Amino acid sequence: MGNWQKIAIALVPLVVVAIVAGFALRQIRTDIVEAPVEPDTNTDFWQVEKIEDAETLLVRRGMERRRVKLCGINPRGTESTREATELIEGSNGEVAIAFLGKQNEAYVGEVWINPEQETEELLNGLLILEGAAIADESEWMLCPNQPSMDAAVQLRGIRP
């Protein structure tokens, strides 16, 4: 056997290992919610810096900032941002958030207003109840408090 043949035989296992490792380590991109292995349903307190629209908030905790999309809702009309602003301002801008995963550049989560009181309320459901948002039934099954949002839909009497 010639030198080139010996080198080729020695390189075959290395090439196979490199290909297998490449497939195993590649990242798969999707535009759906990529939930962690177990969603972090423990809530943390955050301060709302900006309300981009009724379903997207820019929040801060210390030096950390995150863009948060409210799970399971779609804004309804131009008044939806005003309604979200009023509800959040009534909570002095402080909210509690359970992060469920990430979608594009935003975290997806459930947001509660008045988190320091016994009467904390799910913002996602309140926006549906107030008519400022409709349920996004393609996404809301991912929300742990989907039954609360469904109750808001029933009370409001609207379906997407």
* Cβ–Cβ < 8 Å for 112, 42: no
CA distance 95 to 115: 6
- Answer yes or no: CATH 1.10.3470.10 is held by domain 40-156: no
Counting residues of the chain whose pLDDT is more than 90, the rounded percentage is 30
pTM: 0.69
Residues 27-49: pLDDT tens digits?
443 333 444 435 555 778 999 99
**Distance from CA of residue 15 to its chain's centroid?**
39
Residues 65-110: pLDDT tens digits?
999 999 999 888 778 889 999 999 999 999 999 998 888 889 999 9
For residue 111, give both structure tokens. Answer: 């947001």
